[in-house]
Amino acid sequence: MGDFKLTTIEENEAITNRLLETGAKVGADSWQLRVKNQTPHCKFGEQGVCCRICSMGPCRITPKAPRGICGCDAHGIVGRNFLRFTAGGCAAHSDHGREIAHTLYQAKPEGPYKVKDPEKLIRIAKEWNIETEGKDIYDLAHEVAYVALGEYGKIEGYQNFTSRAPEHTRELWKKAEITPRAVDREIATAMHMTHMGNTSKPEALVRQSFRTGLSDGWGGSMTGTEFSDVLFGTPTPIETEANLGVMVAENVNIVVHGHDPSLSELICEYADDPEMIAYAKSKGAKGITVSGVCCTSNEVAMRRGIPMAGNFLQQENVVLTGACEAIVVDVQCIFPALGPLSKCFHTKFVTTSPICQMPDSDFVRFDAATAGENAKAIVKMAIDNFENRNPDLVYIPDTKQKATVGYSLEAIVKTLDGVTNSQVDETGTTKPLLQCITSGVIRGAVAMVGCNNPKIRPDYLHVELMKKMIANDIVIIASGCSAQAAAKAGLMDKAAKDLCGAGLKRVCELADIPPVLHMGSCVDISRMLMLAAELSKDSGLNISQLPVVGCAPEWMSEKAVSIGNYVVATGLDTFLGVDPYVSGSDQMCELLTNGVRDWVEAAYTVEKDLDKLGDLMIERIEEKRAALGI
């Protein structure tokens, strides 16, 4: 095993506790303290039986009061809440995708935004029947971006990207009437259906939840992923590091946080600029370190190897190191707590998007036209702030792990090509991977995704489930904060192959990959959809027949519910470790965990117990194998 050792949950907790001591010294608040104030949570909210969509209420369902004032029962209220939750998530992901399409629309040969992957751009244009012959690549970029922006409000037809789904899947969607139309329309329909005095029938609410989710996965999120690749390059395997130890005490530390890579890409560029580095040196620093939190971090790690300081529940920790000159955020998953917290230190909390404005922050309004200047100003602001650091408060734990990241679908196909050299004629397909699966060398795959949630010991379920899966020869594809949990633990170090069963270990060695593959940010779960679609087409099997399942063990955001809906609706069984506020309606529970199987050949499983959750996933994968006779 050499020197390889995973970083344990206990070690990470010890680091957090040490940082909280610094916090206590400066009178800082923390999520750990706020959780105490919020516990126990409101039972009505937890069960999803509180309705406040009209001012006759709020109404809540109890055995004594089984209906709201309008007469809506628990099933209608839970269903409406579930759909609104989905709509919120779809809106966030999809609007992020729209921003990226908009950035592509403004791409210019002289920058700051350029076309880095023209091949992918041409591929999408052809897919969408846009003439490519003899066209200037920037003209084509604008044309394709324009069509992509139109996808959000298209008057008729369905999301263009749904044509990537296997035919059988599309047939199921058609029959269930859940093929996603315009993204904005699905969100508006969701809001309309859940207005007072509209739908209260659970089945209809779940159908629209799926259609809204699908407009995210096969619409907005896929737009975010594909056009980020066009603009910033399609990820290929790259070395990086993860955990708070990636911050460097002698350097100016800039932490990027959020989701949209447009800003962080430029911050990384300017932080690398010799002029800026010289400026940092003139201020007494040795250099500049950019690291990341949440999905912005995943984006720049996948493309540039920028280290990952941490995931969702570590965002306060980066400030608590006392060595963060600036935490620069774009959109989503940003704690408003960062404002007051940064005031306890010298840290500049820089908000940049009109979508995400917070008190106690410096707002540098960022847009594509002024992006270069904005990014430069932010880097300079961080450098100027270095001298304001209080050395007595600085503590950077030296814990970090190596990670190989950057496994886009393209990269996975290419990497696994080498595994079965008999398959030289199959270059560019998923057949080598399928062969590993059918032969049983790999039993299956789990898509591990989603957040941290204080209801669960941070990273515990992510890491323990991954360890269990790889020990059972199940390969992990990971994204979002789940991927970062893996990286921090060391599961993205190629040496982690030693924790695998013999089959998976052999594949890791032959292909030179870690057993947990980083597929990117949360919008990049669209990469997983594309992988599932390719596996289905290359094998001739339906997606639901593949020994592949999804899992979000520590999820917390509305986006995660939107994701869950599109993953299930695409035919992949999805396992959750946190209940999506539906326990107040047995009809909703029945539908989501069973009934929807009739429409999409997959369903949800909610299980809070670690061992049971892991066993259920393995069982499901083995069931699918048995059904195929492999």
Minimum CB separation of residue 84 from ligand SF4 in Å reads 12
Contacts of residue 14, Cβ cutoff 8 Å, sequence gap at least 6: none
Indicate the burial class of 393 (C-beta count within 10 angstroms; 0-12, 13-18, 19 or more).
middle
Minimum CB separation of residue 136 from ligand XCC in Å reads 35
Q: Which does 450 bind (CB under 5 to 8 A by kind): ligand XCC, ligand SF4, none?
A: ligand XCC
Tell me which residue has tokens 């690749």: 229
Residues in contact with ligand SF4, shown as a per-residue x/- string from 12 to 51 under the rule CB under 6 A: ---------------------------------------x
User: Measured between alpha carbons, how far apart are the two ends of the chain, in Å?
Assistant: 32
- Give the pairing of strands 474-479 and 516-520: parallel
> Which residues face 477 on adjacent strands?
447, 517
Region of 305 (left: φ > 0; alpha: ψ -120 to 50; beta: rest) is left
467-496 residues in contact with ligand XCC (CB under 6 A) are 480-481
Question: Distance (Å, rounded) from C-alpha 367 to C-alpha 372?
Answer: 9
Question: Distance (Å, rounded) from C-alpha 35 to C-alpha 29?
Answer: 11
512-531 residues in contact with ligand XCC (CB under 6 A) are 521-522
> Which residues face 164 on adjacent strands?
none
> How big is the chain, counted in residues?
630
From candidates 140, 256, 319, 333, binder to ligand XCC by CB under 6 A? 333
Q: Which two tokens stand for residue 460?
A: 């515990």
Examine residue 59 and tell whether it contacts ligand SF4 (CB under 6 A): yes
DSSP, collapsed to helix, strand or coil, labels residue 60 as strand
Minimum CB separation of residue 178 from ligand SF4 in Å reads 25
Q: Applying CB under 6 A, which part among 157-165, 213-221, 407-415, 554-562 lies near ligand XCC?
A: 554-562
Residues in contact with ligand XCC, shown as a per-residue x/- string from 224 to 263 under the rule CB under 6 A: -----------------------------------x----
Question: Distance (Å, rounded) from C-alpha 348 to C-alpha 313?
Answer: 19
In the complex with ligand XCC, which residue's Cβ is closer, 258 or 322?
258
Q: Which does 56 bind (CB under 5 to 8 A by kind): ligand XCC, ligand SF4, none?
A: ligand SF4
From candidates 15, 53, 412, 516, binder to ligand SF4 by CB under 6 A? 53
Q: Applying CB under 6 A, which part among 9-17, 55-63, 210-218, 436-444 lies near ligand SF4?
A: 55-63
Contacts of residue 430, Cβ cutoff 8 Å, sequence gap at least 6: 412, 413, 416, 531, 534, 535, 538, 539
Q: Which does 312 bind (CB under 5 to 8 A by kind): ligand XCC, ligand SF4, none?
A: ligand XCC
Question: Distance (Å, rounded) from C-alpha 500 to C-alpha 515?
Answer: 7
Cβ–Cβ < 8 Å for 469, 575 = no
**564 alpha-carbon distance from chain centroid:** 12
Residue from 551, 542, 570 nearest 627 by CA: 542
Please give the single-letter amino acid code of residue 609.
D
Examine residue 285 and tell whether it contacts ligand SF4 (CB under 6 A): no
Q: Which does 557 bind (CB under 5 to 8 A by kind): ligand XCC, ligand SF4, none?
A: ligand XCC
Q: Which does 65 bind (CB under 5 to 8 A by kind): ligand XCC, ligand SF4, none?
A: none
Examine residue 616 and tell whether it contacts ligand SF4 (CB under 6 A): no
Q: Applying CB under 6 A, which part among 52-60, 130-138, 257-265, 374-382 lies near ligand SF4?
A: 52-60
Examine residue 70 and tell whether it contacts ligand SF4 (CB under 6 A): yes
From candidates 36, 52, 108, 201, binder to ligand SF4 by CB under 6 A? 52
Q: Which H or E run contains 224?
A: helix 221-232
161-200 residues in contact with ligand SF4 (CB under 6 A) are 196
Question: Distance (Å, rounded) from C-alpha 92 to C-alpha 42?
Answer: 25
Residue from 604, 576, 558 nearest 92 by CA: 558
Examine residue 300 and tell whether it contacts ligand SF4 (CB under 6 A): no
Minimum CB separation of residue 193 from ligand SF4 in Å reads 13
Examine residue 301 and tell whether it contacts ligand SF4 (CB under 6 A): no
Tell me which residue has tokens 């959780």: 35
Minimum CB separation of residue 484 from ligand SF4 in Å reads 38
448-467 residues in contact with ligand XCC (CB under 6 A) are 450-451
Rule CB under 6 A: which residues touch ligand XCC?
A: 259, 294-295, 312, 333, 450-451, 480-481, 521-522, 557, 559-560
Rule CB under 6 A: which residues touch ligand SF4?
A: 51-54, 56-59, 68-70, 72, 77, 196
